[in-house]
Structure formats: C-alpha cells, structure tokens
Amino acid sequence: MAPKSKYLAGTSLAVMGAGFLSTLPLDTTTGAILHGAFEAGLVGGLADWFAVTALFRHPLGIPIPHTALLPKNRQRVTAGLIHMLEHEWLTKESIMEKLQKADIISKSLAWFETQIHTKATRTVIINVARKLLEHVQPEMLAPYIEKELKQYVLAVDTKRIVTLMIDRILQDRYDEKALDYVLTKAKHWAEKEQTKITLGNVALKAIQNIELDGFLQFALKSFINVIDADKLGGFIQEFIIGGIHSLQNEENDNRRSLLEKLQSELEKSKNNEELMNSIDSWKISIMESYNMSSLLTDLLTNIKQRALIFVQTDAFLEKYAIPLLEKMVASLKQPSYKIYIEHNLHKRIAGFIETNHHKIGKLVQENLNKLDDATLIAMIENNVGKDLQWIRVNGAVCGFIIGLLLETGKIFI
C-alpha cells in the first residue's frame, strides 16, 4: 500500500478524533455544531475503515461475522475472475478479432523492409550463409549425388534422346555441315604435294603388281614405261580434288543423293532397336564401372571453399542476397500472397487458441494458487490501496460535512 495514502487516511481519522475531543468542552452553538460534525466525521471514517479492512482481514483481529471477505471467498473470487477472463475479456472471438485488425503481415513486412539494408542484417546474412556452408559435408553428399546422377542417366529414355538429337541435326542441317567439314579437310589433304607423291607411288606400285596375260601384259608394261609416279600422282590428285569440288557444290546431284542417303539412314536410326539396345548397354556398362565419388567429393570441396569466400564479399550481398530478400518481400506484399499467408496464419492461430484457450484460466489459477492469503492481500492492497484509503478519507470528510449540516439544521429547527 502506498505510504502517502495510508498516512493520509490515518491523518483524517486523527483529525476527526482530535476535533471530537477538542470540541467536547465547548458550550456554544458553534462548538455544538463543530462537535457534531467531528463526531459524524469520526463515525464515517471509522465505519469506512471497518468496511475496507473487512474486505481483507478481521478488524483488530476480532473474528466478527462477515469480515475477512477476500480470504473466506478466495476460491469463488478466483473462479469469477477466471470466468470473466475466459468468457468476457479474453474470449476466443475477441482475440481473433484483435489479431485480424492488427494486420500482422503488413506491419512485419514493412519493418523487415527497413531492416534489409542495415549493417546488422548484412552481418546476419553472412553468418547464416557461412554457417550453412560449413555444415555441408562433401564426402557425405558425393555418394548421394553419384547415385542420383547414375539413376537419372539410366532412367533417360534413349530412344527419345536419339530422336531429339537426329531431329536437331536435320533441323539445323548439321549433316550438310559435317559433310562440308569432311570435304574441306579432304581437299586440304589432297592438295598437299606430299599427298600427290604418296598417291603416285601407291598407284604405280599397285599397277606393277598386276599380272595379265599376253598382249595386255605388254600394254601394261608399255604404259608403266611412259608414265612415272609423279604424273600418275598428279592425275589421281586432280581427280580427287575435282570430285571433292563437285561434292561441295550444293546443286550437285551426287551431293544431293549422298545427303538424302545420309538423312534416310538417320531417320531409320530412330527406330533401330539394335542401336537403342547397344546404347543402353553402353550406358549401364559406363555407369557401373565408373566411380564418380572421389571426383564429386573434390569438386564439392572446391565449390564449398570458394563459396565460403564468396559469401563474405559485398558482391554476394549486393548481387544475390539482398536482391533476393527484396524480391521475396515484394512478392509477399502482393495481395494474393498476402491474403494467402494471412488466411493460413489466422487459421493456425485460431486452431492454437481453440486448443489452448482454456489454459488462460488455468494459468491464472495456478499463479494465484502459488500465493498465500497474506501475499495475495498485500499485492491487492499495494495495487489498489490508494483508492481504498481514499474511501476512508472520503468517509471521514463526508461524515464531517453531513454532521455539520445535521447539527446546523437541528439548531435552526
């Protein structure tokens, strides 16, 4: 109880008592009026003191009936307080109504926006990213990634991949480009002087090894005596270069026939089951024999080390982390996302309140039960003692005024 208010209440009773005693000897009209007023004030103050005290304890320790009301009715008062909290002040409906009006999402996002570019947020982002990366264990991830990669490769539809590749080759005319590449390389080879000599020697040797009968053998030897390796090589070289040049001409019939044949074979490959089975067997053989764990572990370790350095740079914050947070906040502020989040948040809160609302009263009751009567009374008096003491002061003052009016009226009457 506040010392000042308690002192004031005691002072008011003391004043009324002193006034009552001091006016006893007075035999004048004024003295009689004041005596009656102080008497009424003393009675009013004592009556209110008795009433206020009776709420908490027996006045003067005397067990007068209908006193010490709070200790005697503690359980009923507690039950009434709990009922009032649960069914009047903190009802499920009132809590949900307050939450809906609070607009938690908008306020949270607005606050978060103001914090994105602060130094504290940047430090938190770096620390979180670094901690996450430090907990990554490449040697444990590698076998899992290897397994998933192999399963993915083995599960790929070979026919579909081959079909897509062939369609892309034909669509982008890679067959023609491949042919032109081969022809260009062949032409460069054929135009070399060394090629001419090699072709001449090979051809001449081949002719010399030919065995014919009679006149044909004589004619062949005469031809060999007339031509040498250089001339024969030049003839073959010109023939090859001429053939290549003609095939490089897009209007050439032989080129068109060659490309048509190549395209036809590619189209047939789409439905070549033997080819598909061979590719599948090759995939299985490669996947089963090749161990990627060591390679993946080294790769992941290298990536982890580089990432640990990168997340502590301004480039990571300015180019990736902060723009990502800004984008997330902007997305969450969109009406559709906001309504969705609020709906789910309110739904979860409603479920939590529905499940735990009864615990409000239980919590209050548990806390009150921890207090003995003396502690509870002292707590109430400390919080409302000032108002209670003013009841006593007002009783004394009102009694004094009423007594003054009554004595004055009695004299006039």
For the segment 8-16, the average pLDDT, to the nearest whole number, is: 71
Q: Flag whether pLDDT at 254 surpasses 50.
A: yes
The most confident of 11-15, 34-38, 299-303, by mean pLDDT: 299-303
For the segment 235-252, the average pLDDT, to the nearest whole number, is: 89
> Is this model's pTM higher than 0.75 or not?
no
Confidence of residue 154 (pLDDT cuts 50, 70, 90): confident
Distance, in Å, from the CA atom of 165 to the CA atom of 279, rounded to the nearest integer, reads: 14
Q: Flag whether pLDDT at 75 surpasses 50.
A: yes
Residue 1 is predicted with a pLDDT of 46
Confidence of residue 390 (pLDDT cuts 50, 70, 90): low
Those residues with Cβ within 8 angstroms of residue 265's Cβ, 6 or more apart along the chain or in another chain: none
Q: What whole-number percentage of the chain has pLDDT above 90?
A: 16
- Scanning 357-372, the segments in alpha helix (DSSP H) are 358-369
Residue 2 is predicted with a pLDDT of 45
Q: Where are the domains of the chain?
A: 3-72+371-412, 158-287
In three-state form (DSSP H/G/I as H, E/B as E, the rest C), the secondary structure along 289-346 is HCCCHHHHHHHHHHHHHHHHHHCCCHHHHHHHHHHHHHHHHHHHCCHHHHHHHHHHHH
Distance, in Å, from the CA atom of 145 to the CA atom of 291, rounded to the nearest integer, reads: 12
Residue 300 is predicted with a pLDDT of 92
Q: Tens digits of per-residue pLDDT, 276-328?
A: 889 889 888 888 887 888 889 999 999 999 999 999 998 999 999 999 988 88
Give the residue with greater pLDDT, 356 vs 220.
Answer: 356
Question: How far apart, in Å, are the Cα atoms of 259 and each of 175, 178, 181, 275?
Answer: 7, 10, 14, 21
Q: Indicate the helix (H) or strand (E) that contains 130.
A: helix 119-134
DSSP letter for each residue of 29-40: HHHHHHHHHHHH
Q: Flag whether pLDDT at 233 surpasses 60.
A: yes
Rounded to the nearest 10°, the torsion over CA 310, 316, 319, 321 is 140
Flag the least confident range among 85-94, 146-155, 338-347.
Answer: 85-94
Kindly report the average pLDDT of the chain as a whole number. Answer: 78
Residue 301 is predicted with a pLDDT of 93
Residue 363 is predicted with a pLDDT of 65
Question: Tokens 């005397």 label which residue?
Answer: 62
Q: Tens digits of per-residue pLDDT, 88-114?
A: 555 666 666 776 676 777 788 888 888
Q: Indicate the helix (H) or strand (E) that contains 12.
A: helix 3-22
Q: What whole-number percentage of the chain has pLDDT above 70?
A: 67
Q: Which two tokens stand for residue 109?
A: 């996002």
DSSP letter for each residue of 189-222: HHTSHHHHHHHHHHHHHHHHT----THHHHHHHH
Helix-then-strand count for the chain, H and E:
21, 0
For the segment 352-374, the average pLDDT, to the nearest whole number, is: 66
Flag the least confident range among 242-256, 291-305, 394-408.
Answer: 394-408
Those residues with Cβ within 8 angstroms of residue 39's Cβ, 6 or more apart along the chain or in another chain: 20, 403
Question: How far apart, in Å, are the Cα atoms of 404 and each of 215, 236, 351, 390?
Answer: 172, 149, 64, 21
